[in-house]
Chains A and B, each alone.
Chain A
């Protein structure tokens, strides 16, 4: 868990230019972290590369918060 969260957090901080402290499990990409729809698409792409997995468009649409992303990745690993 901790390790996945760490890697996810790093990607979010790099991509969205937010502070690490803002990246909580509850944080919504769009509402709290200032991402637009295209940013979220890109984040998902980077997560796919980082964790070497494919996230279908249907699944990607359900990822709204940091916690959603972390849970999804853990379930798939």
Chain B
């Protein structure tokens, strides 16, 4: 086990990639805060699964784009577990539309949750991590934040923004023993990608050298690496986990 005794907070851990990250970090010995926005039941289910492994976990409702709500979540984490070692900024949404058709609120919602949410959560945990003189922050970006993607101007802007934010927070916090890295997943099978039509999926598949879609576990394994001591000499990096889509 690579994360024994660690406390991890994962945003958007009720479903999909975040859920798998929460479970995998717990398998590696961490106690986990499972954040969710609306899916209380699913979050409670993740907590129950973690407790079955003999680890501790709590579910905390919080909209990551709301600073008061984020501050309360981090306080609850520290009150419950006494410290915080790992933050995984995973919560995210899509509201796809062509640039020409994109409504202002589609732009705002995606930027607020996918980019501002990362800023707010990072800011909220740094006080504790600076005191501890250690911490791991892992941001879930996306491969389209590197390559661009038609129909996703809002999402791509947010995910590129996360890469820039990762580099800057890495530089600001390195002297306090905190590393900040990002993961850029390719096409991973979750609710988010389930809603794409078959034609789009087939097109996507053609662009993946390893010729399969990724699974949440493919991302969770890399997050474990970034959360563990194995990656101690890395900061500010973005790891592409996309079956080779973008090289």
Contact = CB atoms under 8 A, between A and B. Distances in A.
A38 B175 contact: yes
Interface residues of B, number: 6
Contacts of B175: 38
B130 interface: yes
B127 A38 contact: no
Interface residues of A, number: 4
Interface string B121-162: 000000100110000000000000000000000000000000
A45 B175 CA distance: 17
Contacts of B172: 38
B206 interface: no
Interface string A33-50: 000001001100100000
A42 B176 CA distance: 10
A38 B176 contact: yes
A45 B176 contact: no
A61 to B, nearest CB: 15
Contacts of A42: 130
Contacts of A41: 130
A45 B131 CA distance: 9
Nearest to B173: A38
Nearest to B126: A41
Interface string A15-53: 000000000000000000000001001100100000000
8 contacts: A38-B172, A38-B175, A38-B176, A41-B130, A42-B130, A45-B127, A45-B130, A45-B131
